Amino acid sequence: MTIRRSIVNTAALLATASVLPLTAPAMAQQTEASDGDTRDVITVTARRREESLQETPVAVSVFSGEQLEELGAIDITALNQTTPNITLENSRATNNTLTAFIRGVGQQDPVAGFEQGVGIYLDDVYLNRPQAAILDIYDVERIEILRGPQGTLYGRNTIGGAVKYVTRRLADEPELSARVSVGSYDQRDAIITGSTPVTDSIRIGGSLARLTRGGFGDNLTTGADNYDKDVIAARASAEFDITPNFQIRISGDYMDDDSSPRNGYRLNASTIPGLSASPLSDRFDTEGGVANFAPFSEAETVASGVNIYADWQVNDRLSLRSVTAYRQDETDSLIDFDSTAAANFDAWVVYDNEQFSQEFQANYEGDRWNLVAGYYYLDANAFNAFDVAIFGASTAFTLGDVDTDTWAVFGEATFDITERLALTVGGRYTEDERETRVRRETYLGLGSPFFGVANPSITVPVIENGVEFVPTFSASRTDDAFTPRVILAYDVSDDLNVYVSYSQGFKGGLFDPRGAYQFSEIRDGVDPEFVDSYEFGLKGSFFDDRLRANTAFFFADYTDVQIPGSEIITLPGGGTTFQGTLTNAGAAEIMGFEIEATAFLTDSLTANFALGYADAEYTEFESGGVNLVTNPDARGVPDVQNTPDWTGNVSLNHTSDLSLFGNSGAISFIGSAAYRGDTQQFEFAIPGLDQEAYWLLDASVVWNSDDGRVSAALHGRNLADEEYITSGYNFAVIDASDTVFYGNPRTFTATVTLRY
C-alpha cells in the first residue's frame, strides 16, 4: 500500500498545481471574468437537474456536439482517446457492437444474457444490449460520461458507469443543415438535418445520415473489403407543447449497417498443409473464409427504436417526467476465429434483441433541498443462436434465449446544511428476474438444422455424480438488492468545491446462454456482482477562471466478479466441441485518480489536459478450486482486462480571425496527443495479443463563419499510423491461432457544413 499512497499523494499535488478535461461547452452559458473576458459555464444534467459542471459532486466528463465535430469524432469510440480511465471499442469481429469498461468494470462478451457493466443511454433510454450500441455522432447535443456506480438517479443500475448520448432538441425557428465529408479509404459521408415549427405549439424535425468507407484491408479469400463501413441511419422527432407547462416529445431512430464481416489478422502461420505459411503483410488483410460455407454470406445489423418523453412542470418547484421506449435489433454475424480459408473454427451467429422500458421521475427543487425519485421497469429478451464449425467435420450448435424482467425504485435528496455544506443521500431497490432456455447439440458436417442444413446429430450425454443429462435446459433466478449513495459536498470558496462520496453498484445474477457440457451447476447461473465505491473530488476555477481543474480519487471493492470465457473441450465419447464458461471467479480492488483541466492561456489559445490512473488488482481468482492470486499455476497471476494503468490526453486549440468565401470568421488549429498504457485483452497475459503502451496523434483545422452558416474542416487522425490492437481471440488448440483486430490507421477527412 506504500506505493499506492505515494501515487495518490503525487496526484494530489498535480491536481492543485495543474495548468492543464477535455471537457467542452455543453448547454454552455456565458460568465464574465474580472478582466472583462467571457468563459463558457458548462452545464450538465448528470444528477437529473441542470448544474454547473464545476459544482456537480460526481466524476463526469461532458463533450458538446460542436466540440465532437471539431475533433472529427466519428462515433462514441472516439471518446476512448479523450476521457480518463475508460475503454470504448468495437467488440472483436464486429462493426457496431460495443465493449465498454470504466474504472476496470465492464463486460467483454456480447452474447445474450451477459449484461453490460457500463450503461449506454440514448436520450435517457438504457440500451439493454451492446449490439448497435456504437452510436455514430450526428445530430448530437452532448455526450456525458459518468464514472463509478450509477443507480440512485438512473433507470438501470449500471455498476461501472454510464455514457449518456443526448440528441438535439428542435428549435422554434426553421433550421436546415447539410454536412458532407470525404476522406481516406474512399470515405463518403452525407448528413442532412432539418426542423420546422408546424404551429406555435408543434415542431417536427429529423436527420438522415449515409456513412460509407472502403475497407482498410481486403479479405483475400472472399474478395470482400475488410474494416469497411456501409451505414444508413435516421432520426425523427416531433415536439408538442400541450400547455405552456406540459410537453411531449416523440422520437424514433433507425440504423442499417451493411458493412462486410470484420475478420481478424492471424499472428502466426498455420500448421495445416495448404493454408498460409506466414502472416500476411498488411495488418488489415485477412483470409477468413467463413462466408464460403455459411448459410448467409453477409453480415448485417438493423436496429430501431421509439421513445415517448413527457414533461409536466406542475409548479415552480415540482416537475414530473415519463420516459417510455421500445427498441429492437437484429444481427447476422460471421466469425472466423482462426482467420484461415478452411472451416477449422468458424461461426455464423444471429442475435435478436428487443426491450420495452418505462421510467417515471419526480423532481422537486426547494429553497434548501432537492429531490429526485423514480420508478423503472424493463422487459427485455435477448436471443442468439450460432453454429461453430470444428475442423470442418462437425458443428457445435448453441441456442440461448434469455428473458429479463426487472423493476426498481430509486431516489436521491440533497439538503443544504449551510450555504456551503450540502448532504446528498440516495438509495435504490432493484429486483432482477431472469429466465433462460439453452439448447446444445452437436452435428456431423458443417451446419445445423436451425440454419437449414440437414446433418445428423450426435447425442452427447454427460455423467456427473451418477446422473446422466444432456445440456439442454430451462432455468430461472431472481436477485434483488438495495444499493445506497451518500455525498458530502463543501464549497471551500466561490471557486473551489470538494466532496466525498460512497456508492454501491449492483449487477444481477446471469446465466451463460451458451451452456456447458461439463458443469451441471450451469443451471443455477452465477451470483450478482457488487461494487463498493469511495470517491474524493476537488473542482476549482482559478486565476479569474483562466484555469479549471477537476480531480477525483477513487477506491472500489469489486466482489463476485462474473468472468466469462470460452474453450475447446474433448467430449467423453471422443471428438471436439466448443463451450462457454461463466463463473464468479473473481474479487478485485481498484484505486486511482483522474484529473481533467482546461487552461485559457491567452484569448486565442486554450490547453486541455486529462490524466487517469487505475491500479486494478484481483484479490481472488478461483480456478479449479485454487485461488490463483495466492497460488498461481502455469497460467500466471490474473489481471483486470481492458484497464490500462495510465490514460491521458493533452491538446492545444489556437483560434484567430480569418475571412473566407467572402465571410468573416475564425480559424482554429487543434492538435492532440492521447496515451494508453499497457492493456491486457483477457484476465491472463497472452504475449502478442496484449497491447503495449502507445500514443495517438491527431490534428484538425476548422473554420467557422461568424454567422454560423458555414463550416469547413480538415481532420487527421492517428497521424503517426500507430499499430495498436483493440481485441482478439486466443484458441491454442485450434491450429495454434492468435487472431487480433486493430484500431484505425492514419486517416484524413475533409468536411463542409452549411446551415440555413
- pLDDT (tens digit per residue) in 202-211: 999 999 999 9
Q: How many CB atoms lie within 10 A of CB 464?
A: 11
pLDDT (mean) for 680-700: 93
Residue 4: which pLDDT band, with cuts at 50, 70 and 90? very low
Residue 175 neighbours by CB under 8 Å, 6+ apart:
193, 194, 195, 196, 205, 755, 756
Q: Is there a contact between 395 and 353 (Cβ–Cβ < 8 Å)?
A: no
Q: Which three cell numbers stand for residue 495?
A: 471557486
Amino acid of residue 537: G
Q: Which residues contact 521 (CB under 8 A, 6 or more apart)?
A: none
CA distance 125 to 237: 15
Q: What is the pLDDT of residue 148?
A: 94
Higher pLDDT, 534 or 471: 534
User: Structural domains in the chain?
Assistant: 2-660+673-755 (2.40.170.20)
Each residue of 439-482: pLDDT tens digit? 888 888 889 999 998 888 776 655 555 555 556 788 899 999 99
> If you count them, how many residues does the chain have?
756
Alpha helices in 198-242 (DSSP H): none
- Is the pLDDT at 484 greater than 90? The verdict is yes
Residue range 564-575, pLDDT digits in tens? 877 777 665 566
Q: 10 Å Cβ neighbour count for 506?
A: 23
- pLDDT higher than 80, residue 6: no
Q: Cell digits for 68? A: 465532437
Question: What confidence score (pLDDT) does residue 581 get?
Answer: 80
Output 745 or 67, whichever has higher pLDDT: 745
**pLDDT of residue 22 exceeding 60:** no
572 contacts 460 by C-beta, under 8 angstroms: yes
Q: Are strands 118-122 and 161-167 parallel, antiparallel or unpaired?
A: parallel
Cα 240 to Cα 208, 314, 554, distances in angstroms: 22, 17, 43
Return the residue matching grid coordinates 470504448: 88
Residues of 653-670 as b/e, b for ≥16 C-beta within 10 angstroms? Answer: bebeeeeeeeeebebbeb
**Mean pLDDT of the residues in the chain:** 88
> The C-alpha cell of 572 is what?
467423453
In this structure, what DSSP letter does residue 17 have?
Answer: H
Q: Which pLDDT score, from 0 to 100, does residue 577 have?
A: 72
pLDDT of residue 2: 38
Look at 152-161, 224-233, 666-675 and tell me which has the smallest mean pLDDT: 152-161
CA dihedral 385, 387, 388, 389 (to 10 degrees): -170
Half-sphere exposure of residue 738: CA atoms within 13 angstroms, side-chain side: 14
User: Could you tell me the strand order of the sheet in which 265-266 lies?
Assistant: 265-266, 737-742, 725-731
Q: Do 304 and 255 form a contact (C-beta atoms < 8 A)? A: yes
CB 286 within 8 A of CB 220: yes
- Rg of the chain on CA atoms, in Å: 26
Mean pLDDT of 25-46: 49
pLDDT of residue 538: 95
Q: Are 251 and 264 in contact (CB under 8 A)?
A: no
For the whole model, what pTM was predicted?
Answer: 0.91
pLDDT at 572: 59
Torsion of CA 273, 279, 282, 284, to 10 degrees: 80
Whether residue 217 has pLDDT greater than 70: yes
- Classify the phi-psi angles of 544: left when phi > 0, otherwise alpha if psi is within -120 to 50, otherwise beta: left
Number of Cβ within 10 Å of residue 553's Cβ equals 21
Mapped to the 3 state alphabet, what secondary structure does 531-580 carry? EEEEEEEEEEEECCCCEEEEEEEEEEEEEEEEEEEEEEEECCCCCEEEEE
Asked if pLDDT for residue 593 goes beyond 90, the answer is yes
- Asked if 461 and 472 touch (Cβ cutoff 8 Å), the reply is no
Q: Which helix (H) or strand (E) holds 599?
A: strand 576-600
Q: What is the pLDDT of residues 597-612, one digit of tens each?
A: 999 999 999 999 999 9
